[in-house]
Amino acid sequence: MRIAGVPGDFAVASHLIVRGSQAEMGFALARAAIGAYGSAPRRVAPVLGRARRGWFEANWPEHHERSRGMADAFGVDGEDPSLCVDELNGLPLNGGCSAVWSPPTVVRNFDIHASVIETEPPLAGRRLPALARPYVVEMHPDRGLSSVAITGNNLGGCLEGINEAGLCVVELADGQGDTVRPTNAPQAGLDEAQVPRFLLDRCRTAEEAREALLGAKHYTRYSTCHFLVADATGDAFVWEREGDNAEHIVDAGAEPLIVTNHLLSTPAADREDHSHARLRLLERRVSDGVHAALDLVRAEETAEGQAVTLWRSEYRPATSSMTVRFLLGAEPERRYSLPLTITVGR
C-alpha cells in the first residue's frame, strides 16, 4: 500500500504487512521485491551457498525459514546451494545520517545523497535508484517477535526498526569507506543490512543484543556501518566493528547518546569533517529538544544541495512504537508525507 509520494517525488514509500510462518512471510517479501526492484536469485559458488545456509540455520533460523519462502517466490529449488535467494535489494547505498538516544526515545535523520533518490519517472528498462521505493515493513510471525522496520532498498534486511519487546535498532554509516574493502557479494554471516533484522528477530533487550552481536559472524557488503541499539528498560549502546574485525561497544551514560558517521570508539575531538561537526552541534543543542537539534543538521541545511534528509523517524521502546514521515520534495519548499505511527502488539 502506498503511503507517501507519487512518481516525480524524492521517494514513493509503501507500507507492507506480512503475517504467518517465516516461510510465508519470506514469500511475500520476495514477491514485493520482484515488483519493486526486479530482484532475482544470484549465482554463488555451491560451497558458499552451503556455508551461508548452514550459518543461517544454526544462528538465525528465522531468516533460514524465510529464505525457503523466497525460493518459492522465485520459482527455484530452495535446496540448490548455487543460488542465493535472499537478495531482495535494489542498488547499494551509503547514507550520512544522525541519530540521538535521549530516553525515552530514539530519533534519527536518514540522509542520502541526491544521486540515489528518484526525481523523475523512470525510463523503460532502467533500474530505479536505490531510495526510489522505501518500505515500512511490519512482520507478524506465527512464532517469534513481531516488528516494524524501514528499508530503503533491501526487503531482505532493513535500516532501522523496533520489535514488540521494545528493542530498537538504527543503522548509520561509520566513515570507514576508505579503509575497508566491501565484498560486493554475499558471504556466510551477516552483512550490514541484515544486522538490524537479525537483532529484531532474535533479541528482546540491549544486553541480549550485545551478546548476539559479539557472537555473530559479520562482513561488509557495500558500506561500513555502526548501530545504535536501545531497549524498553532504558539500556542503550552503539556497536562498531573496525576493519580488522575489532569490535567495540560504546554504552550510553547519563547524557544523550549521539551518533553520526564516524566511530565513537576512536574519538578525535579535533576533527573538522562534516560528521564530527554535526555531532558537536547536536551535543550543544540537544538540550533544546531532540527534534529541534536534528532540524539543524538536516542534509538540506548542511550538504549544499547534494543530499536530503529523506525521512525522520522516532522510536519509543517503552511502548514498542514508531513514527516516520518522508520528505517528498525540497523545492521551492519542503513537502512531507503525513506522519505514520505504528505500535507493534506485545
For the stretch 130-152, pLDDT in tens is: 566 889 999 999 999 999 999 98
- Whether the pLDDT of residue 90 is over 80: the answer is no
Which CA distances in Å does 208 have to 22, 167, 265? Answer: 22, 10, 21
HSE-CB of 120 using CA atoms within 13 angstroms: 6
Instruction: Tell me whether the omega of the peptide bond preceding residue 332 falls within 30 degrees of 0, making it cis.
Output: yes
Domain ranges in the chain are 2-321
Q: What is the pTM of this model?
A: 0.92
pLDDT in the model for residue 299: 84
Q: Are strands 236-241 and 225-230 parallel, antiparallel or unpaired?
A: antiparallel
Mean pLDDT across 155-171: 96
Name the CATH superfamily, with its identifier, for domain 2-321: Penicillin V Acylase; Chain A (3.60.60.10)
pLDDT in the model for residue 35: 86
Q: In terms of Cα–Cα distance, which of 122, 153, 121, 113 is closest to 137? A: 153
Distance, in Å, from the CA atom of 265 to the CA atom of 249, rounded to the nearest integer, reads 8
Q: In terms of Cα–Cα distance, which of 64, 63, 61, 69 is closest to 23? A: 69
Residue type, 229: V
Q: For all residues of the chain together, what is the average pLDDT?
A: 88
pLDDT in the model for residue 184: 86
Q: Is 147 left (phi over 0), alpha (psi -120 to 50) or beta?
A: beta
The share of the chain scoring above pLDDT 90, in percent, equals 66
Q: Which residue is it, cell 547536536?
A: 282
Q: Is 146 helix (H, G, I), strand (E, B) or coil?
A: coil
> Taking a C-beta distance cutoff of 8 angstroms, is the pair 218, 84 a contact?
no
